[in-house]
Structure 1
């Protein structure tokens, strides 16, 4: 197929790889931020820093921030915001390679939700992908997962909630702008952070040690050098999501989605290079299995389906074929 201004596979792939490189860099510093403030304060400050940027982009004509369906956007935003809390929270306890492996099980859970909630046939290849993906989860967690205890399930829970948000996007948020959905996530994260931080303060929760401090600290001020990492994290998130959405606008979703897994290279690489986080060969094998599962899902999503279409989907599209709007 000849490339057109709306179908540019090479540019789409480059934009996606660029997005994953940016996100892979900024997310490793959540572990550094966790040494100073709580995840709840982190979520609140992400909102305070990101909202002006998003509102400025809207004022410049890049899209509206006014939702068409407030309840649908709020529901979708709450799911993804809670999923991202699980991911960010996990980064205080484990290397980014393990946290990403859990979060990027989301295509597997999108597939399961498609089959059991939306009642769409998924076919044998996708069933194989689910089995391969879950095998990858077990390999990545391995003995390390046992030593982490309940924390080991945090990134996988994040993947489940993120997947639920993706399905909600497809089914409930047709026609909402990227900026609306992106701001919705930041607002939901800010609300979540405010509520939990208020509970911690009122109940005078004892601050834990190590990674638990990221979950149990109250409001800290001043925050010193954490300001710089917060600013980089927020600006990087907006840039990364912008590149991600641009990639899906330029190319076929099932083609572009494969390149999203490049973060499984960038995240562990930068974690090792900049923070000295180790990645064992066993974990690498598990990551490879999860990536393989995602690639199978993306490639096989080109098959047409006509049963029980999702609102907003074009004929022959599945929930996983539609580009995500919004993001982190």
Structure 2
């Protein structure tokens, strides 16, 4: 009898995750724009101010209590990994084109799927694995990382991007483990710590921002907060391994924002790659729906 409610809950989780990924792509574009003129530490510091300035009043107005349940070390590890992920991403875009950094980050769904069975004890079958692998093929087709000789600067950016992708993937599984916590508590804690880390490192490379850039940094915090709230909610509603393939939808938004922001017109390769990504996501959703119908039918046949 629980199959249909599970499908509805998982569907809502997928929707939240898709919207969260779209926010992620906007966060990436804003970060790429700002990191050229300002240090990564500045972005983390001012972004934290913007996020907390929006989240805390909402919590007060809606009477959401700040409460952290679960192992303290798990909360600490998740916050540190989320902070490392943000720092690594912005740092990597300083040294590499955005599409190359995103290629590394698209390894995150594979990492999430691989460790979900061990860390979360989720059952990851061949269909979800197939969707993840096919989606990754779509990413490679869409992005086609640069084939130019790798310089020392690019090598450093590549290593940092891979570390960031790994941090992001592991932090997602930890968020799933801590799903009994209110998403606001999880997100506020990570932005407070991220802001403190940024403030501590700011003296190493502070560049006074103009009014426009300072405003964009605050907006960056609001966008990032919305992103993490949606993803935390999604992980409370659906298994991490089910949501993992939908991370690839970031490429669609990256192509769209690149077209709007930097006038990078989508190539045929991007169109084909995105078609494969959309197909892999629809396949996962179709399988989830068919499984719910099948299980529900079997339950109803029991006298």
Q: TM-score, normalised by structure 2?
A: 0.72
Q: For 1:45-70, what per-residue CA distance to the aligned partner results, in whole angstroms no more than 9, with x for missing partners?
A: 11122222221121122633232344
Q: Per the alignment, do residues 162 and 12 of structure 1 end up closer, same or farther by CA in structure 2, a change over 3 Å counting?
A: closer
Change over 3 Å in CA distance of 1:245–1:164 after alignment to 2: closer
* Aligned equivalent of 2:35: 34
Quote the offset at 1:267 in angstroms: 1.7
Partner of 2:298: none
Deviation at 1:94, TM superposition (A): 3.7
Question: Contact conserved, 1:17 with 1:259, CA < 8 A, in 2?
Answer: yes
> Would you say the 8 A contact 1:104–1:290 is kept in 2?
no
Change (3 A) 1:175 1:300: same
Structure 2 equivalent of residue 106 of structure 1: 108
Q: 2:86 aligns with which of 79, 84, 90?
A: 84
225, 228, 233: which one aligns with 1:238: 225
Q: In the alignment, which residue of structure 2 is the partner of 1:50?
A: 51
Give yes or no for the alignment of 1:178 onto 2:183.
yes
CA distance in 2, matches of 1:144, 1:60: 53
Contact kept in structure 2, 1:51 and 1:186, CA below 8 Å: yes
Report the Cα distance in structure 1 between the residues aligned to 2:167 and 2:4, rounded to whole angstroms.
35
Cα RMSD, aligned residues only: 4.2
Q: Cα deviations across residues 16-65 of structure 1 (Å, max 9, x unaligned)?
A: 54444444334312122113210111101111222222211211226332
1-structure distance, mates of 2:12, 2:129 = 31
Aligned with residue 199 of structure 2, among 172, 194, 199? 194
Greater shift after overlay, 76-85 or 59-68? 59-68
Separation in 2, partners of 1:63, 1:78: 24
- Superposed counterparts of 1:1-328, under 5 Å: 7=8, 16-61=17-62, 63-68=64-69, 69-115=71-117, 122-125=124-127, 128=130, 140-144=144-148, 146=150, 148-171=154-177, 173-197=178-202, 200=204, 218-244=205-231, 260-277=247-264
If each structure's helix is expressed as a fraction of its own residues, which one has the higher value? 2
> Which range is displaced more, 272-281 or 242-251?
242-251
Q: SS of the residue aligned with 2:150?
A: helix
CA displacement at 1:116 relative to structure 2: 5.8
CA distance in 2, matches of 1:248, 1:176: 11
Q: Structure 1 pair 260/192, CA: closer, same or farther in 2 (3 Å)? A: same
Aligned length: 284
Gaps of 5+ in 1: 201-217, 305-328
Residues of 1 paired with 2:208 and 2:265: CA distance? 32
Output the CA distance in 2 between the equivalents of 1:23 and 1:222: 23
What TM-score results when the alignment is normalised by the length of structure 1?
0.67
